[in-house]
Amino acid sequence: MRNSDGLRTAEVARRTGYSVQQLRNLERDGALPAAPRTAAGYRVYGEAHVWSARAYRALTAGADPGSAKTILRAVHRRDLRNMFALLDTAHARLDRERRDLDAARTAARAIADEPVAGIHPADAMNVSELARALGVRPSTLRHWDAAGVVVPHRTGPREARVYTPDDVRAARLVHQLRLAGYGIESLRQLVPELRGWRRWDDLAAALTARDARLDSRANALLDAAAALSALLGLSREG
């Protein structure tokens, strides 16, 4: 349904890549401004809704859906100071992840290059010793064990965990990758393939892939800024 001043819902859906129901959900959640209605009850959308939906898509890709909705709600109530602060937070988080990834790459390279000669089984650690060495809680190591990420040796089902030198190296690398943002499921798949860290190329490829994802998110935030700028321009015209 179109009137002389607005756009049909289906047209906005076509221009933004969202379904009609998704647009209604975004309006309900405040990511789109409230649409006026015709006398017959039909929504009347405009360019502000198109740019809001585009900004939401980009912000979701660059940050997350919750942040995207919060930023757009601030735009719609013209709380620009809060909007800018929220955008700064999204960029700062991305910057922190990138710096963590760089640190993880450096640490992982050093760990992978460490010589294994001269390291003896007697150099093994228990949970408390390794937790102190890594600066994590013992419960973190137990969680990694339960998740199958870093599984220490045991002499029996009720015996204490014993981390061999190879286990310690694995735990050190997992710790760095966790700081870089790797999830447990990703590590569960990656770590067994890299036991002993003799396949640095595989690890380097995984780190490079994450770098590419960070670049994609940064580009999405750039697209979001363009959409928000267009949206603010419409607001000033109004």
Span 216-229, pLDDT tens digits? 999 999 999 999 99
* pLDDT beyond 70 at 129: yes
Span 91-128, pLDDT tens digits? 999 998 888 888 778 877 777 666 555 555 567 899 99
Higher pLDDT, 30 or 172: 30
Q: What is the mean pLDDT of the chain?
A: 86
Residue 71 is predicted with a pLDDT of: 97
Token pair belonging to 52: 């809001």
pLDDT, mean of residues 51-65: 97
Token pair belonging to 4: 């002389």
Residue 11 is predicted with a pLDDT of: 92
Confidence of residue 4 (pLDDT cuts 50, 70, 90): very low
Which value, to the nearest 10 degrees, does the dihedral of the CA atoms of residues 95, 97, 102, 107 take? Answer: 150
Residue 3 is predicted with a pLDDT of: 36
Helices (H) and strands (E) in the chain, counts: 10, 0
Residue 33 is predicted with a pLDDT of: 94
What residue spans define the domains of the chain? Answer: 9-93+216-234, 94-215
Neighbours of 42 (CB within 10 A): 16
Residue 106 is predicted with a pLDDT of: 80
* pLDDT beyond 90 at 209: no
Q: Helices 165-179 & 184-193, crossing angle to 10 degrees? A: 140
Which residues are registered as beta bridge partners of 125? 163
Q: Fold match between 9-93+216-234 and 94-215?
A: yes
Q: Which of 31, 88, 24 is nearest to 225 (CA)?
A: 88
Using alpha carbons, list the distances in angstroms from residue 191 to 41, 80, 101, 171: 57, 45, 17, 10
Residue 82 is predicted with a pLDDT of: 97
CATH of domain 9-93+216-234: 1.10.1660.10
Domain 94-215 has CATH 2.40.50.1020: no
Residue 212 is predicted with a pLDDT of: 93
Comparing 8-17, 20-29, 176-185, the range with the smallest average pLDDT is: 176-185
Q: Which of 187, 186, 179, 119 is nearest to 150 (CA)?
A: 187
Are the CB atoms for 49 and 7 separated by under 8 Å?
Answer: yes
pLDDT, mean of residues 168-186: 84
Span 27-56, pLDDT tens digits? 999 999 999 888 888 888 999 999 999 999
* pLDDT beyond 70 at 159: yes
Share of the chain above pLDDT 90, in %: 50
Residue 23 is predicted with a pLDDT of: 95
Residue 92 is predicted with a pLDDT of: 96
Residue 100 is predicted with a pLDDT of: 80
